[in-house]
Chains A and B, each alone.
Chain A
Amino acid sequence: MTARVPADRLPADAAGAPMAVLLPQATDFVREAMRARRAGMPAWRLESRHGVALLGVFLFGCGWAQAQAGMDHPSIAATIWKWTPLLARGFAFNLAISFLAMALGTIAGFFLGFAQISLLPPVKRGAWLTTHFFRNAPWLVLLFYCMFLLPFQVTVFGVTIPIPDWSKATLGLALPVMANVSEIVRGAMQSIPTAQWESAASLAFNRRQTLWMIIVPQCIKRMLPPWMNLYAILTMATVLASIVGVNEMMTQTQRALSAEARPGLLLAFYSYVLIWFFVYCYPIARWTVRLEARYAVNQ
Chain B
Amino acid sequence: MTASRDATPGPIVEIVDVHQSFGSVDVLKGVSMRVAKGGVACIIGPSGSGKSTLLRCINGLVPIRSGSIRVATFDVHRLHTDAEKIALRKEVSMVFQQYNLFPHKTALENVMMAPIHVLKEDPAEVRARALALLAKVRLAEKRDAYPGELSGGQQQRVAIARSLAMRPEVMLFDEVTAALDPETVKEVLNTIRELAGEGMTCIIVTHEMRFAREIADEVHFTDGGTIVESGPPAELFDHPRKERTRAFLSQIL
A contact set with B: CB distance below 8 Å? 1-3, 195-196, 198-207, 209, 213-214, 217-218, 298-299
Total cross-chain contacts (CB, 8 A): 66
Q: Which residues of B contact A213 (CB under 8 A)?
A: 113, 117
Q: Which residues of A contact B166 (CB under 8 A)?
A: 203-204
Report whether A203 and B118 are in contact in the complex, using a CB–CB cutoff of 8 Å.
yes
Interface SS of A by simple majority:
helix
Residue of B nearest to A205 (CB): B118
B100, B118, B162: the one within 8 Å of A198 (CB)? B100
Report whether A199 and B96 are in contact in the complex, using a CB–CB cutoff of 8 Å.
yes
**B154 at the A interface (CB under 8 A):** no
**Nearest 5 CB-CB pairings of A with B:** A199-B100, A204-B89, A203-B114, A202-B94, A1-B148
Q: How many residues of B contact A (CB 8 A)?
A: 29
Q: Which residues of A contact B104 (CB under 8 A)?
A: 217-218
Report whether B100 and A204 are in contact in the complex, using a CB–CB cutoff of 8 Å.
no
Residue of A nearest to B179 (CB): A2
With contact pairs A1-B147, A1-B148, A198-B61 given, residues A205 and B100 touching in the complex (Cβ less than 8 Å):
no
Q: Mark B45-56, 1 if CB is under 8 A from A, else 0.
A: 000000000000
**B98 at the A interface (CB under 8 A):** yes
Report whether B90 and A204 are in contact in the complex, using a CB–CB cutoff of 8 Å.
yes
B96, B118, B147: the one within 8 Å of A204 (CB)? B118
Q: Which residues of A contact B117 (CB under 8 A)?
A: 205, 209, 213
Apart from A204-B86, A218-B102: 5 A-B pairs, beta carbons within 8 A: A196-B100, A199-B102, A203-B118, A205-B86, A205-B114
CA distance A102 to B163 in the complex (A): 42
Report whether B93 and A202 are in contact in the complex, using a CB–CB cutoff of 8 Å.
yes
The smallest C-beta distance from A8 to any residue of chain B, in angstroms, reads 15
The smallest C-beta distance from A228 to any residue of chain B, in angstroms, reads 20
10 contacts between A and B (CB under 8 A): A1-B148, A2-B99, A195-B100, A196-B100, A198-B61, A199-B159, A202-B89, A203-B166, A204-B118, A299-B103
B contact set with A: CB distance below 8 Å? 59, 61, 82-83, 85-87, 89-90, 93-94, 96, 98-104, 113-114, 117-118, 147-148, 159, 162-163, 166
The smallest C-beta distance from A195 to any residue of chain B, in angstroms, reads 5
Report whether B98 and A196 are in contact in the complex, using a CB–CB cutoff of 8 Å.
no
Q: Which residues of A contact B103 (CB under 8 A)?
A: 1, 3, 218, 299
Q: Which residues of B contact A2 (CB under 8 A)?
A: 98-100
Residue of A nearest to B55 (CB): A202
Q: Which residues of A contact B89 (CB under 8 A)?
A: 201-204
Q: Which residues of B contact A201 (CB under 8 A)?
A: 61, 85, 89
Report whether B86 and A206 are in contact in the complex, using a CB–CB cutoff of 8 Å.
yes
Report whether B82 and A206 are in contact in the complex, using a CB–CB cutoff of 8 Å.
yes
Q: Which residues of B contact A298 (CB under 8 A)?
A: 148
With contact pairs A1-B148, A213-B113, A218-B104 given, residues A202 and B99 touching in the complex (Cβ less than 8 Å):
no
Q: Which residues of B contact A1 (CB under 8 A)?
A: 101, 103, 147-148
Q: Which residues of A contact B100 (CB under 8 A)?
A: 2, 195-196, 198-199
Report whether B163 and A203 are in contact in the complex, using a CB–CB cutoff of 8 Å.
yes
Residue of A nearest to B100 (CB): A199
The smallest C-beta distance from A205 to any residue of chain B, in angstroms, reads 6
Residue of A nearest to B99 (CB): A2
Q: Among the interface residues A198, A199, A202, A209, which one has the most CB atoms of the partner chain B within 10 A?
A: A202
The smallest C-beta distance from B86 to any residue of chain A, in angstroms, reads 5
CA distance A207 to B83 in the complex (A): 10
The smallest C-beta distance from A166 to any residue of chain B, in angstroms, reads 40
